[in-house]
């Protein structure tokens, strides 16, 4: 590990950390989080022969606060700046809001993005049907998310995370929650979370048809952010150019499959990057 490094971009400073050597993989987390979300993924990818850069999104982790915009397009610009700085091309991995940002980055700068992995991504315009509210986990998550976003409540965000990690919790769960709680209580961090939460994914959806590289979409079967996670993942794949996208479901995972089941997620990533090895 190199320790925290900082890159000045238009509007602020992006923090990131690099480990390993080999082809570059850039990891981008979801809202209300930090690059620590990939603490179990990074060493596995490094062991597989990759240089891995885990990034703190604008307003998150150790990156600066006070940004003028929180859209997926803005986040994509930050991620592309990091990739240029580190010397792309790179495989870009995005979770939740960053899944949409990864789509935009790949569409806008195809020479810099060799493949995209979208983990539980918000990449399309969202709509809620009446029947969706009959799904208990979805209803629970939405109520907590609305409270966390509308009220800026760290307590409700932590309550949402308990629903977003159904069943299996990481071994360091208490430490993880404590770190998230501590970061969100720093000035400007909740504002960043609320800004991202209020940013519609329409900008990402508009770019799905312009992506030119392979895309892996990974969804958990119990992801509470959608009443039907498989349908959402399938819709993303269907909106991509024919043959580029593939959907993989992880049984029992919620909205954080990379933290609940890092071995499975990394195996899927490596199969995308090394298809000949996967078939051997």
Q: Count how many domains the chain has.
A: 1
Q: What is the mean pLDDT of residues 32-52?
A: 97
Is the CB of residue 106 less than 8 Å from the CB of residue 116? Answer: yes
Sorting pLDDT into bands at 50, 70 and 90, what band is 151? confident
Distance from C-alpha of 29 to C-alpha of 47, rounded to nearest angstrom = 21
Whether the predicted pLDDT of 126 surpasses 80 = yes
pLDDT, one tens digit per residue, over 219-243 is: 999 999 999 999 999 999 999 999 9
Closest CA to 32 of 169, 225, 235, 251: 225
Q: What is the mean pLDDT of residues 154-181?
A: 94
Place of tokens 């050597």: 21
CATH number, residue 76? 3.40.50.1820
What does the pLDDT read at residue 149?
79
What is the pTM (predicted TM-score) of this model? 0.94
Range of the domain at 60: 5-279
């Amino acid at each position: 590990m190199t320790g925290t490094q900082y890159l000045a971009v238009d509007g602020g400073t992006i923090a990131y950390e690099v480990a390993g050597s080999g082809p570059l993989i850039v990891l981008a987390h979801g809202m209300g989080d930090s690059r620590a979300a990939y603490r179990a993924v990074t060493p596995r990818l490094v062991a597989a022969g990759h240089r891995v850069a885990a990034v703190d999104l604008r307003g998150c982790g150790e990156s600066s606060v006070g940004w003028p915009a929180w859209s997926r397009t803005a986040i994509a610009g930050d991620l592309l700046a990091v990739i240029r700085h580190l010397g792309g091309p790179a495989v870009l991995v995005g979770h939740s809001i960053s899944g949409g940002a990864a789509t935009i980055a790949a569409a806008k700068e195809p020479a810099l993005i060799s493949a995209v992995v979208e983990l539980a991504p918000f990449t399309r315009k969202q709509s809620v049907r009446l029947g969706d509210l009959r799904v208990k986990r979805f209803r629970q998550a939405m109520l907590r998310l609305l409270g966390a976003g509308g009220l800026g409540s760290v307590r409700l965000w932590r309550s949402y995370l308990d629903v977003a990690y159904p069943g299996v919790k990481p071994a360091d769960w208490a430490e993880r929650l404590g770190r998230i709680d501590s970061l969100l209580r720093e000035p400007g961090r909740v504002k960043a979370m609320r800004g991202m939460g209020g940013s519609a994914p329409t900008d990402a959806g508009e770019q799905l048809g312009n992506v030119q590289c392979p895309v892996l979409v990974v969804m958990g079967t119990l992801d509470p952010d959608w009443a039907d996670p498989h349908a959402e993942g399938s819709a993303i794949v269907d909106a991509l150019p024919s043959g580029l996208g593939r959907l993989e479901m992880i049984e029992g995972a919620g909205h954080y499959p990379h933290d609940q089941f890092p071995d499975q997620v990394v195996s899927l990533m490596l199969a995308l990057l090394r298809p000949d090895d996967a078939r051997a």
